Amino acid sequence: MAAEPRPAAAAVSPEGQPTGTAGAPATTRRGMAKVGVATAVAAVSGYLVLFLAARVLGPADYAVFAVFWAAFGLVSGAVNGLMQETTRAVRAGLEQPATATGTEIRRARPIRTGAVIGVALAVAVLVTAPLWATTVFSTDRLLSVLLLAVGIAGFSAQATLSGALSGAGAWSQFSALTILDACLRLVVALACAVLGLRVGGFLVATVAGVVAWLIVTAASPRSRQALALTADVGVGVFRRRVLQSMAAATASAALVMGFPVILKATTSGALTSEAGAIILAVTLTRAPLLVPLNTFQGALISHLVTLRRTPLRALRMPVGVLAAVAVIGAALAAGIGPWLLRIAFGADYRVGPAVLAALTVGACMIGLLTVTGCAALAAEQHRAYALGWWAATIASVLLLLLPVGLDLRVSLSLVAGPVVGAVIHVAALVTNARAFSPPGPNG
């Protein structure tokens, strides 16, 4: 069967640089420095929002805030599949040389797909809310549902813009979008703290950053150019791949952002103070690694697309970094973690050193799963990408059902579950790399 015809690449990238035959401009050190700064700002901002919420609201109201934070993270995390596939499709489209097949296909416009997905998800939240809102949200239910619907619609557009900017190598605009999103959330949280607003105000802060894409698009011609770029494939193929990526991203979001919801679902009765402290500890041990990693996902996928024929070699450095972080981070978490929790958040937040060390290793295992997933996506192994994330999530949920103490089952769930998915990703990459290998001397 003949290969699908590939359309010509764009002549100029959103950064104003000619793409030539190689496609989009290569990731530069200066661009990565900008992304690094944006990542640091996002990480610090996220910590400050959590700190303000924990200190201002207290343990009981913080639990309410944490569940909404997790619910928004769950639905918006699913949309990250749109961002990831947009990054891959735009990058690959810019890299492909013009073809002389004479066959034209209608190349997908990611922003159109993003708009459809955003509206569809917002409507789904509103229509299905009577089925789950009472169970998930204990207070401020109407406000929570409305904010969730508006937030997911805005985040879908923002994810599309992030993906287009990453794929095109427009790191200045990507960094500006990341910083603005984080700062808007922090400003609203600070206003809540100063004005003495309670849970409702912090719920608004959770979704405040989704308007950042409107500001960046209005202020930046290059961002508007990025939104005009097309994918490397037709509309039908792009939409199918987006849905596959979103299916995997849903599992990712459930495991990463939606963990408090999963913990609540697998725990009989109301969550105790011990559970609240562990939820906070999970968030704090993950944030230093996963916030930067999530921010760099677009850059990582864009980089791995160019190395998709040798993915295992490309993974050596990020996997080595994760291993080092796991060892050093676990030691630090065990040594000073309990003290830091008491000093920063109060005596009610108590978690043992062994649990904090295990949660830190668990964060690195999710980082490993994220990196191997990016490699699978870059290699166009969409099914393996989704399968790995879903296998990891299912394994983690099953481990949470073990009849052992809360701290042990949470630790086992977050350490062992992601390893299952990473093994699936690596197996797919090995198979794919063999398919790319040249034939031996005997053909």
Measured from the Cβ of residue 403, the count of other Cβ atoms closer than 10 Å reads: 5
Beta bridge partners of 391: none
Handedness of CA 274, 275, 280, 286 (dihedral sign): positive
In this predicted structure, the answer to whether residue 140 has a pLDDT above a threshold of 50 is yes
Q: What is the mean pLDDT of the chain?
A: 82
The model's pLDDT over 260-280, given as tens digits with 9 standing for 90+, comes to: 778 877 777 666 677 778 888
Structure tokens that stand for 241 in this block:
């791949």
The mean-pLDDT minimum among 49-63, 113-127, 367-381, 412-426 falls in 49-63
pLDDT score, position 20: 34
Q: Which amino acid is at 95?
A: E
Beta bridge partners of 18: 12
The mean-pLDDT minimum among 87-96, 113-122, 126-135 falls in 87-96
In this predicted structure, the answer to whether residue 18 has a pLDDT above a threshold of 60 is no
Which of 253, 250, 252, 276 is CA-nearest to residue 264? 276
Beta bridge partners of 107: 234
Alpha helices in 137-198 (DSSP H): 141-168, 171-195
pTM of the model: 0.71
Share of the chain above pLDDT 90, in %: 39
Structure tokens that stand for 227 in this block:
């939104």
pLDDT top residue among 242 and 12: 242
Handedness of CA 25, 237, 393, 177 (dihedral sign): positive
